[in-house]
Amino acid sequence: MELEENIEEKIEEFIKEKKYTELKALLKEMKSADISAILDDLNKEEAVIVFRLLSKEKAGMTFSYMETDMREKLIQNLTDSELKSVLDELFMDDTVDLIEEMPSNVVTRILRTVNRNDRKIINELLKYPDDSAGSVMTTEFIDLRENMTIEQALDRIRKIGTDSETIYTCYVLDKDRILKGIIDIKDILLAKEDSLIHDLMETNIISVNTLEDQEEVAKAFDKYDLYALPVVDNENRLVGIITVDDAMDVLQEEVDEDFNKMAAISPTEDGYFETSVFKHAKSRIVWLLVLMLSSAITGAIITNYENAFAAVPVLVAFIPMIMGTGGNCGSQSSTLIIRGLATDELELKDVFKILWKEIRVAVIVGVILALVNGLRIFIQYDSLQLAVTIGLSITVTIIMAKSIGCLLPLLAKKLKLDPAIMAAPLISTIVDILSILIFFQIATLIMGL
Amino acid sequence: MELEENIEEKIEEFIKEKKYTELKALLKEMKSADISAILDDLNKEEAVIVFRLLSKEKAGMTFSYMETDMREKLIQNLTDSELKSVLDELFMDDTVDLIEEMPSNVVTRILRTVNRNDRKIINELLKYPDDSAGSVMTTEFIDLRENMTIEQALDRIRKIGTDSETIYTCYVLDKDRILKGIIDIKDILLAKEDSLIHDLMETNIISVNTLEDQEEVAKAFDKYDLYALPVVDNENRLVGIITVDDAMDVLQEEVDEDFNKMAAISPTEDGYFETSVFKHAKSRIVWLLVLMLSSAITGAIITNYENAFAAVPVLVAFIPMIMGTGGNCGSQSSTLIIRGLATDELELKDVFKILWKEIRVAVIVGVILALVNGLRIFIQYDSLQLAVTIGLSITVTIIMAKSIGCLLPLLAKKLKLDPAIMAAPLISTIVDILSILIFFQIATLIMGL
């Protein structure tokens, strides 16, 4: 499975020694995804040499896997006819992705190169909002008619199949291009030649509107085990399809986004190395500032109890433990709830069931941690008062932390915000404030400060 | 896209009023995935009624989407012949999954019900380790021979297609069942009838060994945009295939696992509600205990500086801010690195490139946060000494936190551990200890305590 490390060295060697015949033979044996990974690591001149040695079809495939900056460099070094042959091989959704990420001078060149009909389709596709079904769909699919026989359908598939992104599922349209049914290639192949498409097609169709959020689209693939999903406009006319490989990319993008939000990082579009140091700093500083200033509240509360820790200085030593345990418990609950909401396993209506479950878990966890810690403190400091103070504070903090950890993501969902913003960093900061209050309040009461 | 809320109520109403004809008609219009979601919410008696109204094929499909506990209840209420007809509809991988999750008395009944040949295959499949390619593959695929013509291949596809999980990709084997090539149904359909499979098949094949980790398998689907992946034994004999819907499930499982680990939760097999309160507590308490006891180290360090905060009590108020900012910065870096490693975007060999990038980001972020906070403190407390102490502590803490945040996941990878264990909770605890040391050391120096 692993790509051999030395293939990259071999390619660089062939380039250096101008062994182009050997290089071409090697490239022929390689997968486009692997070639693109290597191209991304080469310098511009080397990349152009390698790219020119690829067959027309493979060049297109390889191009569709490449990173933005290398694509741009490559395009600027290709002749118009080379560019045209790459664009011919790309499916519409890939061409549109390319246009969206290129600077305007490259876009002009691309639009000048494609034919008039494609240019019209591209301009239509560019109008769909980011992250909508319309923006990830492709317009190349097999369309059939209800009154076709299997034989006629097979003829049509053979005629337009080469240019379609998939022939696995075919779409049955009426004269107004309204989607009437879908039929799997398996059902076409297994049927008698004179059967009618109308009698074999599935009419209970899962489809999405062009404006549907791409995250919902990806979830539908996962839920219904789909290979392709038709995209229709408001009049139920079929305008495109989304294939499972694109849905998988969307799923990965959304997971990346959730991971970032949960670590208090604003979403970035590009990969780790392609994002500049300044962009990285920018995407991380906003939340850090907010959280840092919020922690001043915790600080102010502590100042309020100055007399308490002046009398019993050892209390200060337990601040990290109380705050840390509270933060960890809160982030455990919030992570489970955020992920459950993201995969549709949990729903808003389950709020009381979830809260009740979290409280019971919190009581068990809280009592055990309190006992372990209380015992340690009793042995170490020989003070029952201190042991009870810490034990009780931990239990109450954990119940509070788990309740907040599960409620805030649900509240965000209710307010139609992304639950992922209510993740570890924000929860920790809120839990910090409350746990310090709980801790000093309990200490003041029990130790009579 | 959203399933109408009232469909569930409608079904319950039909059951209560014994309107089975209407219920059957309604079910016929529904997708198996949606029916299974509703079945999971019904009680046992209702579920059996609904299940019996499904067509044979739909019953099998619906069953494959259902949750473990409802499957078990259902099986115990089906007659032997009903069970047999469900099992007949399941693909081998689903049958094996079912057997793995059922109690032994149900397993005995299942094995008694399937035919002898299937029993043999099932027993073979059960031998593959959990999380291996062998454990997720299915054995039902289209096998062709090199010397077949397209016409003969089509005949074979028509003959065995119904029982194959996919006909989209066909596999070319020799007489020893060694995998010689693959061919897409598109290429078969678009070729001339008398062409030979040998001349059309792709021989540059991506395949995996039965023992390959399922996570690597899922990554291959994502990387190469595959629809199906052949699984071979050590002699390169084809033993099964994995389809993209199963790969998507694996990807989601792995993401769930990473989310859990990053929130200091031990992995659990079942969903949120199916996991009992005690199991939830158990999966969360281990890390909490470890982290709680580690925070005693931070506490001990603080005790060490008792004289410092006895002299300047306001220092205590800044503990949450220093620790919180350090923890957040560390978890930002570790999350980016963990996710980058999980998606193969980042590699171990990039360690110095990553560290250098993180340090530069840390300097920018650190200086800005220090200035904002220093200014606030200078205005609020009118003490340049305090402002410089906090500002400098924050900058140094952030550089330390980001370095540790990126290095520890890479270290875990180097040690062949899962980088996800080096996530926010563990990083925070380590960063806590160091940030308190940095803070009090800088305070002691600058303020001359």
User: Residue-wise over A183-192: b if at least 16 C-beta within 10 A, else e?
Assistant: bbbbbbbbbe
- Nearest CA-CA distance, residue B144 and chain A, Å: 16
Q: Do residues B420 and B262 lie in contact, with contact meaning Cβ atoms separated by under 8 Å? A: yes
Q: Encode chain B in three state secondary structure.
A: CCCCCHHHHHHHHHHHCCCHHHHHHHHHHCCHHHHHHHHHHCCHHHHHHHHHCCCHHHHHHHHHHCCHHHHHHHHHHCCHHHHHHHHHHCCHHHHHHHHHHCCHHHHHHHHHHCCHHHHHHHHHHHCCCCCEHHHHCECCCCEECCCCEHHHHHHHHHHHHHHCCCCCEEEEECCCCEEEEEEEHHHHHHCCCCCEHHHHCECCCCCEECCCEHHHHHHHHHHHCCCEEEEECCCCEEEEEEEHHHHHHHHHHHHHHHHHHHCCCCCCCCCCCCCCHHHHHHHHHHHHHHHHHHHHHHHHHHHHCHHHHHHCCHHHHCHHHHHHHHHHHHHHHHHHHHHHHHCCCCCHHHHHHHHHHHHHHHHHHHHHHHHHHHHHHHHHHCCHHHHHHHHHHHHHHHHHHHHHHHHHHHHHHHCCCCHHHHCHHHHHHHHHHHHHHHHHHHHHHHHCC
Q: Which amino acid does the sequence have at B408?
A: L
Nearest CA in chain A to B264: A332
| pLDDT tens by residue, A339-357 | 888 888 898 989 999 999 9
- Nearest CA-CA distance, residue B449 and chain A, Å: 17
A417 lies within 8 A of chain B by CB: no
Q: State the CB neighbour count (10 A cutoff) for residue A93.
A: 22
Q: What secondary structure does DSSP assign to A376-418, as a single string?
A: HHHHHH--HHHHHHHHHHHHHHHHHHHHHHHHHHHHHHHTTS-
Last residue within a domain, chosen from A127, A162, A181 = A127
Q: Which amino acid does the sequence have at B433?
A: I
Q: Do residues B132 and B211 lie in contact, with contact meaning Cβ atoms separated by under 8 Å? A: yes
pLDDT above 70 covers a percentage of chain A that reads 99
Give the mean model confidence (pLDDT) for residues B19-33.
89
Q: Do residues B125 and B92 lie in contact, with contact meaning Cβ atoms separated by under 8 Å? A: yes
Q: B221 vs A248: CB contact, 8 Å cut-off? A: yes
Residues A235 and A318 in one domain: no
In sequence order, which residues have a C-beta less than 8 Å from that of residue B426 and are 6 or more positions away? B264, B287, B291, B408
Residues A229 and A282 in one domain: no
Residues B331 and B443 in one domain: yes
Q: B167 vs A157: CB contact, 8 Å cut-off? A: no
Q: Do residues B65 and B33 lie in contact, with contact meaning Cβ atoms separated by under 8 Å? A: yes
Nearest CA in chain A to B432: A320
| pLDDT tens by residue, A394-439 | 999 999 999 999 999 999 999 988 888 777 778 888 998 999 999 9
Last residue within a domain, chosen from A197, A219, A243 = A243
Residues A114 and A147 in one domain: no
- Count CA atoms closer than 13 A to B218's CA, side-chain side: 23
In this structure, is residue A256 part of a structural domain?
A: no
Cα–Cα distance measured from residue A304 to residue B13, given in angstroms and rounded to the nearest whole number: 60
In this structure, is residue B113 part of a structural domain?
A: yes
Give the mean model confidence (pLDDT) for residues B182-204.
93
Q: How many domains does the structure of chain B reveal? A: 3
| pLDDT tens by residue, A356-408 | 999 999 999 999 999 999 999 999 889 999 999 999 999 999 999 999 999 99
- Nearest CA-CA distance, residue A294 and chain B, Å: 8
A82 lies within 8 A of chain B by CB: no
Helix (H, G, I), strand (E, B) or coil at A93: helix
User: What CATH code is carried by the domain that includes residue A105?
Assistant: 1.25.60.10
The structure tokens 């580690």 sit at: B294
Q: In degrees, to the nearest 5, what angle opens at C-alpha A262 toward C-alphas A316 and A404?
A: 55
Q: Examine the pLDDT at B2 and tell me if it is beyond 70.
A: no
In this structure, is residue B259 part of a structural domain?
A: no
Residues A329 and A304 in one domain: yes
User: What CATH code is carried by the domain that includes residue A218?
Assistant: 3.10.580.10
B135 lies within 8 A of chain A by CB: no
Q: B361 vs A29: CB contact, 8 Å cut-off? A: no
Q: B263 vs A331: CB contact, 8 Å cut-off? A: yes
Residues A123 and A210 in one domain: no
- Nearest CA-CA distance, residue A286 and chain B, Å: 10
Last residue within a domain, chosen from A243, A265, A289 = A243
**Sheet of A228-232: strands edge to edge?**
A208-209, A228-232, A238-243
- Nearest CA-CA distance, residue A81 and chain B, Å: 28
In this structure, is residue B13 part of a structural domain?
A: yes
- Nearest CA-CA distance, residue A332 and chain B, Å: 5
Query: Residue A1: what pLDDT?
Result: 45
| Facing residue for B296 by CB, picked from A161, A245, A321 | A321
Query: Residue B84: what pLDDT?
Result: 87
pLDDT-derived band of residue B1, with 50, 70 and 90 as boundaries? very low
Q: Do residues B72 and B106 lie in contact, with contact meaning Cβ atoms separated by under 8 Å? A: yes
Q: Do residues A141 and A171 lie in contact, with contact meaning Cβ atoms separated by under 8 Å? A: yes
Q: In degrees, to the nearest 5, what angle opens at C-alpha B40 toward C-alphas B34 and B44?
A: 130
Two tokens, residue A181: 């049914």
Nearest CA in chain A to B207: A1
B335 lies within 8 A of chain A by CB: yes
ipTM score for this prediction: 0.78
Residues B158 and B236 in one domain: yes
pLDDT-derived band of residue B4, with 50, 70 and 90 as boundaries? low
Cα-Cα end-to-end distance for chain B: 65
Give contacts of B259 with chain A, Cβ < 8 Å.
335, 339
Cα–Cα distance measured from residue B65 to residue B91, given in angstroms and rounded to the nearest whole number: 12
Measure Cα distances from B3 to A244, A251, A410, B297 in Å. Answer: 21, 21, 20, 52
Please report which residue ranges of A226-382 form alpha helices under DSSP H.
Answer: 244-262, 277-304, 306-311, 314-317, 319-342, 351-381
Strand partners, B229: B242
Tell me which residue of A346, A323, A351 sits closest to A336, measured CA to CA: A346
Measure Cα distances from B251 to A336, A441, B97 in Å. Answer: 17, 46, 17
Q: Which of residues 251-270 of B touch A (CB under 8 A)?
A: 251-252, 255-256, 259-260, 262-265
- Count CA atoms closer than 13 A to B269's CA, side-chain side: 7
Residues B355 and B435 in one domain: yes
| Facing residue for A310 by CB, picked from B313, B360, B376 | B313
Two tokens, residue B341: 């490693």
Residues A121 and A187 in one domain: no
Residues B292 and B410 in one domain: yes
B438 lies within 8 A of chain A by CB: no
In this structure, is residue A195 part of a structural domain?
A: yes
Q: Which of residues 305-334 of B touch A (CB under 8 A)?
A: 306, 309-310, 313-314, 316-321, 323-325, 327-329, 331-332, 334
Helix (H, G, I), strand (E, B) or coil at A171: strand
| Facing residue for B245 by CB, picked from A225, A325, A369 | A225
Residues A286 and A432 in one domain: yes
Q: A189 vs B190: CB contact, 8 Å cut-off? A: no
A195 lies within 8 A of chain B by CB: no
Cα–Cα distance measured from residue A284 to residue B18, given in angstroms and rounded to the nearest whole number: 59
Q: Which of residues 2-31 of A touch B (CB under 8 A)?
A: 29-31
Identify the domain containing residue B191 by its residue range. Answer: 143-243
Cα–Cα distance measured from residue B248 to residue B122, given in angstroms and rounded to the nearest whole number: 23
Nearest CA in chain B to A305: B317
Residues A222 and A329 in one domain: no
In this structure, is residue B262 part of a structural domain?
A: no
- Number of cross-chain residue pairs from A and B with Cβ atoms under 8 Å apart: 318
Residue A202: DSSP 8-state? B
Low-confidence ranges of chain A (pLDDT < 50): 1-2
In this structure, is residue A167 part of a structural domain?
A: yes
User: What CATH code is carried by the domain that includes residue A303?
Assistant: 1.10.357.20
Q: Examine the pLDDT at B280 and tell me if it is beyond 80.
A: yes
Give contacts of A281 with chain B, Cβ < 8 Å.
361, 364-365, 368
In this structure, is residue B258 part of a structural domain?
A: no
In terms of pLDDT, which residue wins out, B3 or A175? A175
Give the mean model confidence (pLDDT) for residues B417-423.
81
